[in-house]
């Protein structure tokens, strides 16, 4: 991967090319939500909270669709960015990026979830970025799964659900080409200068849910894409273990 004889390349925070940032989960951060976690990927920090609504969206009732629904909302708190970001409510509308990200989070969760087993309920997963330093969408997906799984486990314990609708876990990480070198889990200084930027969403069993890969005033080869996917897969395998530990911690009485 990296040419170890090349001493000119260094990541801004001195990580190895295939090294994740310090990833942490603080569960129970929002006690009124059934499941919650503050997930940190280095300086990127996102609050993810899962709440239960005892009804399904109007379109499901109208179309008599069986089961339940799970959806996500994403926002960057005004003070999460270097320059204050105006709240969507003050601007009067959500920007395109926000809509794209929240749909990605919802799709990622639903890919590993059997909605038929969530009869008559909606799970709302709110992801609010406390601090943005690159990779907020991938941190959101990773934390959203932890928050939602904790909420589901509590519903099961309270006999409000018969079976766990989650079929497996889901996590995400960013990868990209920075100064010509494929790297894992980009922070903002890397993301800003990356020529290729990709977000990988994978299940615990190693299946892809989504791969968003784009050249920024640049193109990329099949070989580079393969390297990026391998890096992403390695990172996600490590993240899966951390997610499992966080869920167990979050369910401790
Ligand atoms: N960013 C920002 N303001 C914005 C959008 C992005 O400061 O309105 C920064 C933030 O650090 C974010 C990074 O740019 O994490 C990369 O943004 P991108 O749209 O690629 O999404 P992300 O990598 O956070 O999923």
> Which atom of ligand 1 is the closest one to the Cα of 95?
8
Instruction: Write down the pLDDT at residue 140.
Output: 99
CA distance linking residue 124 with residue 137, whole number of Å:
16
CATH superfamily of 23-86+94-250: GHMP Kinase, N-terminal domain (3.30.230.70)
Instruction: Write down the pLDDT at residue 7.
Output: 67
Q: Nearest CA to 80 among 188, 186, 184, 171?
A: 188
CA distance linking residue 209 with residue 222, whole number of Å:
19
Distance of CA 100 from the midpoint of ligand 1 (Å):
13
Structure tokens at 162: 């018969």
| Closest residue CA from atom 19 of ligand 1 | 97
Instruction: Write down the pLDDT at residue 8.
Output: 81
Q: Probe ligand 1: pick from 21, 72, 81, max atoms within 8 Å of CB?
A: 81
Domain-by-domain residue ranges, the chain? Answer: 23-86+94-250
Own/partner pairs for 222-229, CB < 8 Å, 24+ apart?
Answer: 224/177, 224/182, 224/196, 225/198, 227/1, 227/182, 228/175, 228/176, 228/177, 228/182, 228/196, 228/198, 228/200, 229/175, 229/200
> Which atom of ligand 1 is the closest one to the Cα of 136?
24
| Closest residue CA from atom 12 of ligand 1 | 134
Distance of CA 200 from the midpoint of ligand 1 (Å):
16
Instruction: Write down the pLDDT at residue 119.
Output: 86
Instruction: Write down the pLDDT at residue 1.
Output: 53
Q: Are 40 and 242 in contact (CB under 8 A)?
A: no
Pocket (CB within 6 angstroms of ligand 1): 81, 85, 97, 132-137, 174, 188, 191
Strand order of the sheet with strand 35-41? Answer: 23-27, 35-41, 44-53, 122-131, 69-76
Instruction: Write down the pLDDT at residue 206.
Output: 97
3-state secondary structure at position 145: helix
CA distance linking residue 6 with residue 239, whole number of Å:
29
pLDDT per residue as tens digits for the range 111-124: 999 999 998 999 99
Match 């994740």 to its residue by tokens.
20
Q: What is the sign, positive or negative, of the torsion defined by CA atoms of 43, 24, 48, 67?
A: positive
- What are the percentages of helix, strand and coil residues in the chain, rounded to 5? 35, 30, 40
In eight-state DSSP terms, residue 30 is S
Q: What is the pLDDT along the chain (253 residues), one digit of tens a residue?
A: 555 556 689 999 999 999 999 999 999 999 999 999 999 999 999 999 999 999 999 999 999 999 999 999 999 999 999 999 999 989 998 899 999 999 999 999 999 999 999 989 999 999 999 999 999 999 999 999 999 999 999 999 999 999 999 999 999 999 999 999 999 999 999 999 999 999 999 999 999 999 999 999 999 999 999 999 999 999 999 999 999 999 999 999 8
């Amino acid at each position: 991967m990296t040419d170890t004889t090349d001493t000119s390349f260094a990541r801004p925070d001195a990580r190895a090319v295939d090294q994740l940032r310090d990833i942490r989960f603080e569960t129970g951060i929002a006690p009124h939500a059934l499941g919650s976690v503050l997930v940190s990927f280095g300086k990127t920090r996102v609050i993810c909270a899962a709440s239960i609504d005892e009804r399904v969206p109007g379109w499901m009732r109208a179309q008599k669709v069986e089961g339940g629904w799970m959806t996500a909302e994403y926002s960057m708190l005004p003070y999460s960015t270097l320059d204050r970001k105006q709240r969507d409510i003050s601007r009067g509308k959500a920007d395109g990026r926000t809509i794209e990200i929240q749909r990605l989070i919802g799709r990622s969760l639903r890919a590993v979830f059997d909605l038929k087993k969530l009869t008559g309920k909606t799970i709302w997963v709110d992801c609010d970025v406390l601090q943005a330093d690159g990779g907020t969408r991938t941190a959101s997906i990773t934390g959203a799964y932890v928050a939602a799984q904790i909420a589901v486990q509590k519903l099961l314990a309270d006999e409000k659900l018969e079976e766990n609708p989650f079929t497996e876990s889901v996590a995400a990480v960013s990868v990209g080409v920075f100064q010509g070198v494929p790297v894992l889990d980009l922070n903002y200084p890397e993301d800003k200068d990356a020529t290729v930027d990709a977000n990988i969403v994978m299940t615990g069993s190693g299946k892809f849910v989504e791969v968003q890969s784009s050249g920024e005033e640049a193109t990329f080869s099949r070989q580079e894409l393969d390297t990026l996917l391998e890096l992403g897969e390695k990172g996600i395998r490590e993240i899966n273990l951390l997610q499992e530990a966080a869920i167990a911690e979050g369910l401790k009485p």
